[in-house]
Structure 1
Amino acid sequence: MHDTVLATAGWISTGTGIGNDIKSLIFDVGIPVLCGLFVLVVGWRTKAPGPTIMAVILAAVVWGGAANMSLLKDKTTQDITHYDGPASAQQGDR
């Protein structure tokens, strides 16, 4: 039996590449298709404009949130940093 270091065999980069491809497939194809399917199913089942319009709005929010994930990540990081307070604040019981 031969010992093989995973990094030299390329398994780590292969796994990273597959993970990035799957992530791109989910965000670029999967979520938009599911949002469209959601709107079609709601429109078909209810046959009413009100629920269908709300389904379109909800699908747009989900699709937009998924498309702007990096922007949302930066915003939450800023909020957490802002609410942590100054670095010189005393720690412990107050």
Structure 2
Amino acid sequence: MKVKKEDEVVVIAGKDKGATGKVLRALPKEQRVVVEGVNLIKKHKKANPAGGQQGEVITKEAPIHVSNVALMEGGKPVRVGYRFEEDGTKVRISRHTGKDI
């Protein structure tokens, strides 16, 4: 996956198209990411009288497919490529500018 945790991304497809946020979690096995403030769902939590907890409705972010987000560089979405350094390390680069990300 070309998107990692802490990256700034923009949603390019779906109900939250145009929204930007930081990647909170990356789930590479499922090809999904959790983005801050995007794809919000409401989860109902059942009350537990024995434990003294009230029931509540929690709003949280759900994962979205990585193909629906684009990495942002300088406020614009960019495509990501790879380059290998001379010492063999793999570096992400912007396809548009060629700069390291």
Report the structure, 1 or 2, having the larger strand content: 2
* Structure number with bigger Rg: 1
TM-score (norm 1): 0.23
Question: Scaled by the length of structure 2, what TM-score is found?
Answer: 0.22
Bigger proportion of residues as helix: 1
